[in-house]
Amino acid sequence: MNRSELVNAVAEKSDTPRTQVEAVLAATRDQIMAAAASVEKVTLAGFGAFEARDRAAREGRHPATGEPLQIAVTRGVGFKPGSAFKQRVAAPIG
């Protein structure tokens, strides 16, 4: 499912105009990204949590030459699914 399909599905299920759903989805996305960039954890009960995670400096290898190189400390984003999300995905198939 892509963004457009998600917007259409939510609009239909909630009986809300597509333009309003798009605006709410965009605002939600922007707020989650802003919070994660500020190293704030965003928890949506039953869905999961988004948070910034620091990755330690480490040694890597140049893919073409195989030479060792130092990879600097970086920050990425992680998602930890909530228990309801895990249960729904793990439901028996069939």
Residue 93 pLDDT:
80
Of 16, 80, 18, 93, the closest CA to residue 43 belongs to: 80
Q: Is the dihedral of CA 48, 52, 57, 60 positive or negative?
A: positive
Distance of CA 56 to the CA centre of its chain: 21
- Alpha carbon distance, N-terminus to C-terminus of the chain: 20
Listed by start position, the domains of the chain span 1-38, 41-94
Residue 79 pLDDT:
96
DSSP letter, residue 45: T
pTM, entire model: 0.76
The CATH code that applies to domain 41-94 is 4.10.520.10
Residue 91 pLDDT:
81
Are 24 and 54 spatial neighbours (Cβ–Cβ below 8 Å)?
no
Residue 34 pLDDT:
95
Residues 6+ apart with CB under 8 A from 2: none
pLDDT in tens, the chain (94 residues): 999 999 999 999 999 999 999 999 999 999 999 999 999 999 999 999 999 999 999 999 999 999 999 999 999 999 999 999 999 999 888 6
